[in-house]
Amino acid sequence: MGKIIAITNQKGGVGKTTTSVNLAASLAAANRRVLLVDLDPQGNAAMGCGIDKQEVKYSSYDLLMEEVPASETVIKLPEIGFSVIPGNSDLTAAEVELMHADHKERRLADALIPIKADYDFILIDCPPSLNMLTLNAMVAANSLLIPMQCEYYALEGLSALMSTLKNIQDSVNPELHLEGILRTMYDDRNRLTKDVSEQLIRYFGDKVFRTCIPRNIRLAESPSHGLPVLSYDKSSRGSVAYIALAGEMIRKEKKSSK
Ligand code: ADP
Ligand code: MG
């Protein structure tokens, strides 16, 4: 059964989409069956995989509205090794349209049930807010992966996210757990980065991934080519880091299933 991981942080620009696309590619390179669900109205994950978000027949909006079965919304991308359910600006309407709907926070969870067994990993790229879309992701997910930049205000944002996690565990999704915290755009020459990183490890221990994602220009360039960095520049530091992250996750998974 596929493990569903929501890639989330209410702060924008921390590397959620970059992590979604490149972790998906790296897990696929390790022969895992991967689906990436783009739940951000900006549709950056879809674009980063070479999909024209305005031209798609269906998007994740249709999943939330129960209009189309999930299998019909999936776009297979053999060139990059995984499948995508795209997101686009239609999603902005979802929040309003779901306001008075039944089971509004369970729409995504229910929609993914029929296709869950077709994948080893389903990654959900969340929007930069704690709205109804993110809530749907957190209800559908088994775990949360939180990318963060080691900056001064990052820890504060993280504590808000941890209390959201607790609320969801206490109400709609008791099984939800923290997959891990990922340090992104990491620069170990920077004193503040190091301090925040140490604090992070003090609080969260082995919930902080050992792999850090460095700041790497190839990671920033590859979306404009519609490719994960692995297909764009395989030997870049960005590629190597996301492959290491996939390896770390797979090893953890094997350990916990023993
Ligand atoms: P989010 O989805 O959290 O808003 P993005 O993944 O879109 O964040 O990243 C924000 C910006 O930073 C993008 O322009 C992206 O290309 C760039 N970026 C993300 N991670 C890295 C990195 N490790 N090195 C360099 N640029 C990065
Ligand atoms: Mg994003």
Q: CATH number of the domain that 116 lies in? A: 3.40.50.300
Q: Which ligand is nearest to the CA of 127?
A: 2
Largest CA distance in the chain: 51
* Cα torsion angle, 200, 202, 207, 209, sign: positive
Q: Is the CB of 47 under 6 A from ligand 1?
A: no
11, 18, 233: residue to mutate for ligand 1 pocket, most atoms within 8 A of CB = 18
Per-residue tokens: 35: 């689906």
Q: Is the CB of 227 under 6 A from ligand 1?
A: no
Q: Give CA separation, 189 vs 42, 185, 193, in Å.
A: 33, 12, 8
CA of 209 to the centre of ligand 1 (A): 18
Closest ligand 1 atom to 223 CA: 16
* Distance in angstroms (rounded) separating the CA atoms of residues 98 and 199: 39
Q: Is the CB of 184 under 6 A from ligand 1?
A: yes
Look at the block and give the residue holding tokens 């792999």.
211
Domain count of the chain? 1
Residue 59 identity: S
Task: Tell me the per-residue pLDDT of 99-133, one tens digit each, with 9 for 90 and over.
Answer: 888 899 999 999 999 999 999 999 999 999 999 99
7: domain range?
A: 3-257
Q: Is the CB of 185 under 6 A from ligand 1?
A: yes
Count of Cβ atoms closer than 10 Å to residue 203 Cβ: 14
Q: Is the CB of 15 under 6 A from ligand 1?
A: yes
Residue 107 identity: R
Closest ligand 1 atom to 14 CA: 3
Closest ligand 1 atom to 241 CA: 23
Closest ligand 1 atom to 125 CA: 2
Contacts of 210 by beta carbon, 8 Å cutoff, 6+ apart? 248
ipTM of the complex: 0.99
pLDDT attached to residue 83:
98
pLDDT attached to residue 16:
98
CA of 14 to the centre of ligand 1 (A): 6
pLDDT band at 134 (very low <50, low <70, confident <90, very high): very high
Task: Tell me the per-residue pLDDT of 181-199, one tens digit each, with 9 for 90 and over.
Answer: 999 999 989 999 999 999 9
pTM of the model: 0.97
pLDDT attached to residue 120:
97
